[in-house]
Homo-oligomer: A and B are copies of this chain.
Amino acid sequence: MAQKPSLPQGTRDFGPLVVQRRKYILQMIENVFKKYGFMPIETPAMEQLSTLSGKYGDEGDQLLYKILNSGDYFKKLTEYQSRAMGHEELDKTFLPSFDNTIENLDAKRSLSFIAEKGLRYDLTVPFARYVTMNRNTITLPFKRYQMQPVWRADKPQKGRYREFWQCDADVIGSNSLINEAELLKMYDEVFSLLNLPVIIKINNRKLLSALATKINAENLFIPITVAIDKLDKIGLNGVSDILVQTGLNLEQVDAILHFLSLGKSENPLQEMTQFLGDGDEGKLGIQELTQLHTYLSLMNPLNIIQFDFTLARGLSYYTGAIVEVQSNIGNFKSSIGGGGRYDNLTGIFGMPGISGVGISFGLDRIYDVMEEQNLFPENLKTTQTQILFCYFNEATQLKALSLCSELRKCGISAEIYPDITKKIGKQLEYANKLQIKYACIIGEDELNSDQLQVKNLINGEQHPTHLTSLINLLQA
């Protein structure tokens, strides 16, 4: 019996029109990346689990896709489970600590027989690995872009897929805030080109760090950030609850809530300066935001770029500027892009002291917003074919094939209906369904004449023409 095929949950096929539209977005992003001097790299879909694990927090680790080792892993596993292998022998090999869904130590040990590789979870960690492995050939500062799919075993929902594309630009090996300014301007340019108005929100992790210091909770900096990051989803009360659970007292929580209420005035940076007082880190954060503002004002951004002190970002490796992009139209208010500065990402791979800053475009979410808002150009169609050659029999088929070849030689997208047995109506129906604009029907008359009949299938007009005129028409 034939199988009824299906797709893995959270994954999608893309038909011709969707692919063209996705490529349209990718092309806009790539053009801007190149214009700002970024260079492309690509990394493999599979990475060692040791490269990926421990980099994305507990939640992230659980969402890694793991790949079964090839060969007879099962035999080895059974051997271990029946204790033909001792723990010591086993622990000499790689003991995975990455799967926090598995509490049992035996189970963890078993896993090392089963999986050593995983699918890429983002493009930042593979980039840090790439930089570390290619440190001797890379010129710093290194400006790279990377546009590839990533995989997360997350619960699928609107705007969240298990396979999705990220388009990242990062500068590594430079501390200058010009990088931040240029990356923000790149967001601005891409979304302007796509006719998608956005709000670009910026903040600086140093302000959050100064806040933690001010309330004597430096050791809770990461949990405080993670709590604030959930503000959009759970509101101020929800954030308060988490902060209390984290072990903060009411006075501390009040200070955090006050911090989150800042920035609505005419001069948000002055307001923040007054609140944070004299600490070095707060001053540095304010200074960085001020400098960034100076650079940006020279670049004339077209979209709204605003300070947002409630912006925290989930990932723990950010240390300076952070940014998030939201659509300014439609209902989808999750971020369609984000990024920030990280001071030591390559340190985990043995290359310390390298600062980097990057942004990411979420292709699939941008696509969803643009489709909802009907922002794709009309001229993106399923096919690029401009003309279909139709015919009646073997003799006219050969003439049609020959003419079709002539057009292709001139770079024109053209097709000949392949099957000889179909009626002309069937052939024109094919052209209509694919929205091919012109049809050229080759009959007996055309066999012995240079004249061709070309029909415009949109307005129904049909005119006699010659090959050279037809080529001129289609090349125009």
Contact = CB atoms under 8 A, between A and B. Distances in A.
Interface of A: 2-8, 11-16, 19-20, 22-23, 34-37, 39-48, 50-51, 62-63, 65-68, 70-72, 74-75, 78, 81, 101-102, 104, 107, 110-111, 114-117, 119, 129-130, 132-134, 137, 139, 141, 143-144, 149, 151, 153, 162-163, 171, 174-176, 178-179, 181, 185, 294-295, 298-300, 347-352, 382-385, 397-398, 401-402, 405, 408, 411-416, 418-420, 430, 433-434
Contacts of A72: 101-102
B46 A19 contact: no
Contacts of A419: 141, 174-176
22 contacts: A6-B133, A8-B48, A8-B116, A12-B44, A13-B41, A13-B133, A19-B42, A34-B413, A36-B415, A37-B383, A45-B149, A45-B163, A46-B151, A65-B70, A66-B67, A68-B114, A74-B107, A141-B430, A171-B418, A174-B419, A185-B405, A295-B398
A408 B412 CA distance: 32
A19 B2 contact: no
Contact of A402 (B12, B153, B298): B298
Nearest to A62: B70
B139 A434 contact: yes
A151 to B, nearest CB: 7
B13 A117 contact: no
A381 to B, nearest CB: 9
A372 to B, nearest CB: 21
A6 B132 CA distance: 10
A106 to B, nearest CB: 9
A59 to B, nearest CB: 13
The 6 A-B residue pairs with the shortest CB-CB distance, nearest first, are A2-B350, A11-B44, A176-B418, A37-B415, A16-B39, A19-B40
Contacts of A102: 72, 74
Contacts of A349: 2-5
A178 B398 CA distance: 10
Contacts of A415: 36-37, 143
Contacts of A418: 141, 171, 174, 176, 178-179
Contacts of A384: 34-35, 37
Given A174-B419, A434-B139, A42 B67 contact: no
A220 B272 CA distance: 82
A416 B43 CA distance: 27
B295 A401 contact: yes
Contacts of A130: 13
A137 B17 CA distance: 13
B47 A134 contact: no
B298 A398 contact: yes
Contact of A7 (B3, B44, B143, B163): B44
Given A15-B41, A35-B408, A298-B402, A48 B434 contact: no
A127 B37 CA distance: 37
A284 B398 CA distance: 20
Q: Max chain B CB contacts within 10 Å: which of A20, A44, A102?
A: A44
Nearest to A154: B70
A416 B178 contact: yes
Nearest to A71: B101
A298 B405 contact: yes
Given A63-B70, A298-B405, 6 more contacts: A5-B50, A45-B163, A65-B70, A143-B415, A179-B418, A298-B402
A350 B430 CA distance: 24
A65 B101 CA distance: 22
A170 to B, nearest CB: 13
B65 A35 contact: no
Contacts of A14: 41-43
Contact of A8 (B39, B41, B117, B300): B117
Contacts of A382: 39
B13 A139 contact: no
Contacts of A81: 81
A153 to B, nearest CB: 4
A5 to B, nearest CB: 4
Contacts of A385: 37
Contacts of A66: 67-68
